[in-house]
Amino acid sequence: MERNRRNRIALTVSTTITLILTLLGVMQLTKTTHFLLPVSSFFPTMAILLPSMTLFCLIIPIASPSVFAARRLFYPAALIVIIFTATILLGLLSPYISPNLSHCIHDALWSRLFGEKSLKIERIENVLRCCGFNTPYDRAYPFPSSSAGANACVLEYKYTESCAYKWQHETKIVAEWCVVSFSIILLAGIGGLLHTILVYKRQSTQVSRDPRSSQSSKNAVIVKGRGAPSERSVLLEQPAPVNPTPSSLLDLEAHDAT
């Protein structure tokens, strides 16, 4: 009873954490597309999928031990894949958290968009309510032309702040939340793998120490020993012949005479 109660608590807690992480992943994916962040949408997408995959691998040993026992190699292998995936994703997200590297990434993307005369710059400026990148006059939209100067954005939209810090800050928030999700998934995967190893070890120990299995083996040896008797045992079990003594012969003759 106590074990079932602990299993229900574990299932409830793990399911709640999975739902929270999935919701955070959806929020970060929405923010990535809304602000046109340089961080790939692949990261928040994985932050949505990995929690459910990890939960599936963790609850099977509790919810369905028979399925878990039938596929002994699948779940450890799946947990190892999840652990490696989370580790790689954490490493790929590190440049977006480092201030210097993140600034270089944002500056390179802004320069590319400005060189392409992309209207994505206008969208970023309108969403973040800013102008330009490093300063309100740095590569801002409306693009400089014969009829508009570098200060056209400030004059038209009345934004006085640059976009570099705001844009980089939104990217950092997305990256940090993804790091939190992947870190929890990594710890859960390691814990699940260790638990799986302990379960397998406990099962093998129980099988080796099971008195019923040892008793059955002993019975098998006894039955085998009680098979067809050998020729020597038959000879030993036969009663030995009794030689008549002289007194017994006299008693027999007297009995016949009467």
Average pLDDT over residues 191-206: 77
Using only C-alpha atoms, the chain has a radius of gyration, in whole angstroms, of: 41
Among residues 195, 125, 192, 178, the alpha carbon closest in space to that of 154 is found at 125
Instruction: Indicate the residue type of 203.
Output: Q
Among residues 32, 34, 36, the alpha carbon closest in space to that of 46 is found at 32
Measured CA to CA, the distance from residue 136 to residue 43 in angstroms comes to 30
What's the distance, Cα to Cα, between the start and end of the chain in Å?
88
- Residue 158 φ/ψ region, left for φ over 0, alpha for ψ in the -120 to 50 degree band, beta for the rest: left
Confidence at residue 134, expressed as pLDDT on a 0 to 100 scale: 94
pLDDT tens digits for range 147-189: 778 888 999 889 999 999 999 999 999 999 999 999 999 999 9
Confidence at residue 69, expressed as pLDDT on a 0 to 100 scale: 61
Name 179's Cβ contacts closer than 8 Å, sequence gap at least 6: 90, 93, 97
CA distances from 52 to 22, 86, 87, 110, 244 (A): 8, 13, 17, 35, 94
Lowest mean pLDDT, pick from 32-46, 53-67, 75-89, 105-119: 53-67
Q: How is residue 219 written in tokens?
A: 């019975």
Name 232's Cβ contacts closer than 8 Å, sequence gap at least 6: none
Q: Residue ranges of the domains in the chain?
A: 18-209
Q: How is residue 71 written in tokens?
A: 């596929």
Q: Which residues of 130-145 are buried (b: 16+ CB within 10 A; e: fewer)?
A: bbbbeebbbbbbbbee
pLDDT-based confidence at residue 224 (cuts at 50, 70, 90) = very low
Lowest mean pLDDT, pick from 99-103, 127-131, 205-209, 233-237: 233-237
pLDDT-based confidence at residue 235 (cuts at 50, 70, 90) = very low
Task: Considering only residues 138 and 58, tell me which one the structure prediction assigns the higher pLDDT.
Answer: 138
DSSP secondary structure, 182-217, as one string:
HHHHHHHHHHHHHHHHHHHHHHHHHHHH-HHHHHHH
> Helix and strand tally (H, E) in the chain?
11, 0
Q: How is residue 181 written in tokens?
A: 């999700």
Name 33's Cβ contacts closer than 8 Å, sequence gap at least 6: 41
Task: Considering only residues 72 and 231, tell me which one the structure prediction assigns the higher pLDDT.
Answer: 72
